[in-house]
Amino acid sequence: MSDFHAQYVMDLEARAEARFADNAAAWDRYFAKEVEKHCPFTVNLMLHSMGNYLYKHLLGSSVYSGDRLLFDNVVMVAADTNNEKHAEWVDRIPYRNRLYITINENDGALKASRLKMGEQQKARLGHYLRRLDSRVATYIDVTSQPHVGDSHAYFEESPLKNAKVLDFFKASLNGKVAEKPTRYDPSRNVHRL
């Protein structure tokens, strides 16, 4: 199957070159449009809670090189990992379109996680609206949205009664830009639904 795909890409590149050899922008637009016609699907990754912690450690392991663009969007929901220095590993996550990190300051599970004993239980990434300093992530605040409350899984059930929350997850999990209808707060580097 990969030989079939490789041949398709070579043929498409030749057609683009024949039509737009002197116009790189037109070449790129044509190529992207034709690829989307041939394969209109996206592959997106949603990490929830401790899944973010596990992915962080996978990025640091020798098992995973992280050099392949597999996902169009990566959506980190209710990340139960330290906010402190998160940009160091988040900025290494490969993706094609967007990397989203959702935050709910009222998340009951992340409040409980932060209260555990030990020095490592610092502010949780999915619970904290400070130090949002990744160069590549788009931070989405769902804290004040109706039906979200203290939910830890605001991608299901009652929170999806909120059209803004539902629209965000529909767009982000289908490889689309999901922050357009939000209000951007530059003082915190966060988009608010």
Residues 111 and 182 in one domain: yes
Residues 93 and 29 in one domain: no
The DSSP secondary structure of 124-174, one letter per residue, reads BGGG--S----SS-EEEE-TT-TTTTT-S-TTSSGGGGSHHHHHHHHHHTT
Q: What is the pLDDT of residues 73-97, one digit of tens each?
A: 999 999 999 999 999 999 999 999 9
Looking at residue 53, what is its pLDDT?
94
Residues 50 and 143 in one domain: yes
CB-count burial class (<10 Å; 0-12, 13-18, 19+) for 111: middle
Q: What is the pLDDT of residues 92-134, one digit of tens each?
A: 999 999 999 999 999 999 998 887 766 567 899 999 999 999 9
Residues 99 and 140 in one domain: yes
Residues 107 and 158 in one domain: yes
Looking at residue 124, what is its pLDDT?
93
Please give the residue range of the domain that contains residue 7. Answer: 2-38
The letter for the amino acid at 93 is: I
Confidence (pTM): 0.83
Residues 74 and 168 in one domain: yes
Residues 61 and 34 in one domain: no
Residues 105 and 120 in one domain: yes
Other beta carbons within 10 Å of 106: 15
Residues 79 and 28 in one domain: no
Looking at per-residue pLDDT, the higher value among 65 and 24 belongs to: 24
pLDDT beyond 60 at 1:
no
Residues 30 and 107 in one domain: no
> What is the count of structural domains for the chain?
2
C-alpha 17: how far from its chain's center?
Answer: 33
CB-count burial class (<10 Å; 0-12, 13-18, 19+) for 67: exposed
Residues 75 and 97 in one domain: yes
CA distances from 85 to 18, 99, 103, 131, 132 (A): 47, 17, 16, 9, 10
Residues 138 and 119 in one domain: yes
Banded pLDDT at 31 (limits 50, 70, 90): confident
